[in-house]
């Protein structure tokens, strides 16, 4: 069964991320593994902006312990996610 996209109101945090030229693969779209770097950027931005997390001084670290990715639309450079 094909997953259906969630609605924007089901999410509590948004971060605009600009795709980079280097994100594209030989087929001209963002490479699959790159999506997880976007997840990492969003998770760390959330910790820094909303939890006061100091990436250089904190004795604790933030972890993404579970993630998944369902592809609904292709991304390419210079898209903003």
Question: In this structure, what CATH number is given to the domain that contains residue 44?
Answer: 3.10.129.10
- Asked if the structure places residue 63 within a domain, the reply is yes
* Number of structural domains in the chain: 1
Burial letters 30-66, b for 16+ CB under 10 A, else e: beeebeeebeeebbeebbeeeeebeeeeeeeeeeeee
In a domain, 3, yes or no: no
User: Does 4 fall in a domain?
Assistant: no
pLDDT digits (tens, 9 = 90+) for 1-49: 888 999 999 999 999 999 999 999 999 999 988 999 999 999 999 999 9
User: For 55-73, what is each residue's pLDDT tens digit?
Assistant: 889 888 888 888 888 889 8
Domain that holds residue 25: 12-81
Q: How far apart are CA 13 and CA 22, in angstroms?
A: 26
- Mean pLDDT across 69-78: 91
37 lies in some domain: yes
Within a domain: 1: no
pTM for the whole structure: 0.82
Give the H/E segment covering residue 37: helix 34-51
Please give the Cα distance from 20 to 39 (Å, whole number).
Answer: 15
* Residues paired with 30 in a beta bridge: 24
Kindly state whether residue 2 falls inside one of the protein's structural domains.
no
What is the per-residue pLDDT for 80?
A: 95
């Amino acid at each position: 069964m094909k997953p259906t996209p969630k609605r924007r109101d089901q999410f509590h945090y948004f971060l605009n991320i600009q795709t980079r030229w280097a994100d594209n693969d030989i087929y001209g779209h963002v490479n699959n593994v790159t999506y997880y770097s976007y997840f990492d950027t969003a998770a760390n931005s959330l910790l820094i902006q909303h939890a006061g997390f100091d990436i250089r001084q904190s004795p604790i670290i933030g972890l993404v312990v579970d993630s998944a990715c369902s592809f609904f639309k292709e991304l390419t450079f210079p898209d903003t996610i």
